[in-house]
Structures are given as structure tokens and as C-alpha cells.
């Protein structure tokens, strides 16, 4: 997810109101310490113009690393 956020030149703080989560939550997602819930995955897919399946695949790939 970080790669897509950085491509848009968004800080974590810019992304927080778009997803209705805290900056710490985004940091945990990017560090694989937690994972987005379903609602957040849907918002992420809309924001980054990717499918929800793609978002789920990213989460799964990060979890298996």
C-alpha cells in the first residue's frame, strides 16, 4: 500500500481522512503489524483505482513475507 500512497505523493496524514482511520493505523498496515478491515480495503481500492482482489492479494503477499 505504501507504494501506491507514495506514487500519489500522499503522506500518511493526507490519507487518514480519506480512509477515516488514524495515521498510526496506516503505519501499522504498512509495517504489516495489522491489516485493513473490509471497509478500508474497499476504500483503498477506490482511492488507488485497483480491484479489491488486488488489495487482498497485497495483504496476503505481505503477510507471507
**Residues in contact with 52: Cβ distance below 8 Å, sequence separation at least 6, in sequence order:** 41, 42, 45
Tens-place pLDDT, residues 8-26: 999 999 999 999 999 999 9
CA dist 51 and 22 (Å) reads 23
Q: Residue 57's pLDDT is what?
A: 77
Quick one: what percent of the chain has pLDDT higher than 70?
88
The residue whose grid cell reads 504498512 is 30
Contact 65, 32 (CB under 8 A): yes
DSSP at 4: H
Is residue 59's pLDDT more than 80? no
The whole model's pTM is what?
0.79
Higher per-residue pLDDT: 57 or 54: 54
Amino acid at each position: 500500500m505504501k507504494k501506491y500512497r507514495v506514487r500519489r505523493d500522499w503522506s500518511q496524514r493526507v490519507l487518514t481522512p480519506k480512509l477515516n482511520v488514524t495515521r498510526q493505523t496506516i503505519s501499522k498496515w504498512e509495517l504489516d503489524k495489522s491489516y485493513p478491515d473490509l471497509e478500508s480495503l474497499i476504500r483503498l481500492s477506490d482511492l488507488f483505482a485497483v480491484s479489491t482482489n488486488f488489495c487482498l492479494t497485497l495483504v496476503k503477499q505481505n503477510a507471507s513475507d
